[in-house]
Amino acid sequence: MKNIFLKQNNKLGYFFNLFILFSIFFTLNSCADKKTEEAHEEEKSENEVALTAVQFKTVGIETGSLENRNLNLVIKANGYTTVPPQNMANISTLIGGTVKDIFVLEGTFVNKGKVLATIQNLEVVEMQEDYNSAIANIEYLQLEYNRQKTLSDENVNPRKVLQEVKSKLAVERARAQAAKNKLQALNMSTSGSSLVPIVSPISGYVGKISIAKGAFAETGITLFEVVDNSQMHLDLNVYEKDLGSISVGQTIDFILTNQGNKSIKGKIFGINKSFSNESKTVAVHAKINPADSKDLISGMYVSANINIKNATVPALPKDAVIKNGDKYFVYIQEEHEEKATAKKAEAHEHKEGEAHSEEAVGEEEEHNEVHFKAIEVVPGTTDLGYTEVKFVEAIPADAKIVIKGAFYLLSAMKGGGEHEH
């Protein structure tokens, strides 16, 4: 009897232990499923966002589809604006002297031939005296030559005397011309003041002034800089890998923030045949359209597009592509609409055949949700308001892509935080 009782207890213990093991197994499985589901939901929430119908209308979300657009394929290159050599003057003096007057200020516009300053040098007086003396001698020798020629023709005087006068006349004429050339090089008249004018050889804006009144101006030292920015060039640094696609005649364009985001255009006229520096770039020179040059300054940093060719590519409006971190995305509207639980159900309950009240309709719109999913893309060239896009993963052909309001969706996905674009 005792043995039978022990056997029954052993059986009960066995079944009890088995029940405990199954309970633990199911509990662990449930926890694991719950964690997997939570992880999936968390991953899903990182690239999905939902708006109520009211928010959808208020924000003005618009959707569209991928389009094939004829866009310019471009190569991006950085560089600086420059002034062509013939439009820049570094003005110096051919003769040293004391600065007597300065007539301009930096930043002022001057016309070609404008006197910028005057320099006093007494050597100029000697040049003027040499010229005037030579002119006086020429007048005398010319009369003497005419007289000797008449006598020579009448065989009164020997021809040798005529040749001597002719020779002296030629020497004085050469001396006068040399003195005149010197004075003209200094922009001086043949008589009068000892002040040498410093004249602008071009029309343009005065840059740096390197002299002061009363100082001694030396030869070969730049006294004034004058720049004419009616013509501007752009020097771009193009990498070796892109050189095969660059050619003379291609157009370039760039935007400067201080020009009201206006597109400035130009055309390539020259390509260097040697590398500029250790960065393995080659200088590509472009002439900027004169209509766009007047407000530019030499030395402006520019990030330009070199237009290579036109091609038909899949594209979206540029505002449809948004940047989040170091990746780019577009938003696709998902097909289903969900309703909030519990509270939504109460809002939608009504008797059969009873019309919705305005309040009920409002509550229904408030709880309807439109879902959007962020899809990663690789953007390409941007032209005429459209951006070339390549999807990292394939999307349905009839996908509704958000073309207006993508920035708002990114902000909502981040919980109202700031976004990049």
Residue 291: pLDDT band (50, 70, 90) is confident
What's the angle, vertex CA 81, arms to CA 78 and CA 86, rounded to 5?
A: 140
Q: Are residues 178 and 97 in the same domain?
A: yes
Quick check: is 123 in a domain?
yes
Task: Tally the domains of the chain.
Answer: 3
CATH code of the domain containing 137: 2.40.50.100
Percentage of the chain lying above the pLDDT 70 cut = 79
Location of structure tokens 């999913």 = 373
Quick check: is 221 in a domain?
yes
Which pair of structure tokens corresponds to residue 195?
């002040």
Interior/surface letters 183-208, b for 16+ CB within 10 angstroms, e for the rest = beebebeeeeebbbbbbbebbbebbe
Say how far apart CA 251 and CA 267 lie, in whole Å.
4
37 φ, ψ (degrees, to nearest 5): -65, -40
Q: Are residues 409 and 285 in the same domain?
A: no
Which pair of structure tokens corresponds to residue 79?
């560089």
Quick check: is 22 in a domain?
no
Q: Are residues 52 and 79 in the same domain?
A: no
The reported pLDDT for the residue numbered 86 is 92
Q: Are residues 285 and 394 in the same domain?
A: no
The mean pLDDT of 168-179, rounded to a whole number, is 90
Among the listed residues 177, 91, 167, 164, the one whose alpha carbon sits nearest the alpha carbon of residue 131:
177
Q: Are residues 109 and 216 in the same domain?
A: yes
Q: Are residues 253 and 136 in the same domain?
A: no
Quick check: is 277 in a domain?
yes
What's the angle, vertex CA 341, arms to CA 339 and CA 345, rounded to 5?
A: 80
Q: Are residues 329 and 301 in the same domain?
A: no
Least confident of 32-46, 53-67, 277-291: 32-46
Q: Residue 301, exposed/middle/buried by CB under 10 A (0-12, 13-18, 19+)? A: exposed
The reported pLDDT for the residue numbered 414 is 78
The mean pLDDT of 81-104, rounded to a whole number, is 93
Helix (H, G, I), strand (E, B) or coil at 33: helix
Among the listed residues 324, 315, 326, 308, the one whose alpha carbon sits nearest the alpha carbon of residue 390:
315
62 has pLDDT over 70: yes
The reported pLDDT for the residue numbered 263 is 81
What is the reported pTM?
Answer: 0.56
CATH code of the domain containing 346: 2.40.420.20
Q: Are residues 107 and 174 in the same domain?
A: yes
Quick check: is 7 in a domain?
no
First to last CA, the chain: 86
Of the residues 181, 205, 227, the one at which a domain ends: 227
Max distance between CA atoms of the chain, in angstroms, equals 185
Least confident of 25-39, 193-207, 246-260, 304-318: 25-39
Number of Cβ atoms within 10 Å of the Cβ of 139: 11
Quick check: is 17 in a domain?
no
Residue 110: pLDDT band (50, 70, 90) is very high
The reported pLDDT for the residue numbered 409 is 87
Q: Are residues 284 and 333 in the same domain?
A: no
Residues β-bridged to residue 70: 312
Of the residues 284, 311, 338, the one at which a domain ends: 311
Quick check: is 137 in a domain?
yes
Quick check: is 393 in a domain?
yes
CATH code of the domain containing 233: 2.40.30.170
Least confident of 45-49, 95-99, 163-167: 45-49
Is residue 400 within 8 A of residue 65, CB to CB? The reply is: yes
Number of Cβ atoms within 10 Å of the Cβ of 326: 6
Q: Are residues 127 and 236 in the same domain?
A: no
Residues β-bridged to residue 285: 235, 270
Q: Are residues 204 and 138 in the same domain?
A: yes
Which pair of structure tokens corresponds to residue 332?
């696709």
Which of residues 383 and 48 earns the better pLDDT score?
A: 48
171 has pLDDT over 70: yes
The reported pLDDT for the residue numbered 10 is 52
Encoded amino acid at 234, one letter: L
Say how far apart CA 170 and CA 87 lie, in whole Å.
41
Domain that holds residue 144: 93-227
The mean pLDDT of 297-310, rounded to a whole number, is 88
Of the residues 194, 227, 260, the one at which a domain ends: 227
Q: Are residues 409 and 329 in the same domain?
A: yes
Helix (H, G, I), strand (E, B) or coil at 293: helix
Encoded amino acid at 375, one letter: I
**Whole-number Cα distances in Å, 241 to 245, 274, 378, 381:** 9, 14, 21, 18
The mean pLDDT of 91-118, rounded to a whole number, is 93
- Residue 307 CA, chain-centre distance (Å), reads 14
Tens-digit pLDDT profile for residues 200-212: 999 999 999 999 9
Residue 227: pLDDT band (50, 70, 90) is very high
The mean pLDDT of 1-7, rounded to a whole number, is 45
Is residue 313 within 8 A of residue 305, CB to CB? The reply is: no
Tens-digit pLDDT profile for residues 249-265: 999 988 886 666 678 89
Among the listed residues 213, 420, 214, 232, the one whose alpha carbon sits nearest the alpha carbon of residue 327:
420
Which of residues 353 and 122 earns the better pLDDT score?
A: 122
The reported pLDDT for the residue numbered 49 is 85
Q: Residue 89, exposed/middle/buried by CB under 10 A (0-12, 13-18, 19+)? A: buried
Eight-class DSSP state of 29: H
Please state, rounded to an integer, the average pLDDT across all residues of the chain: 80
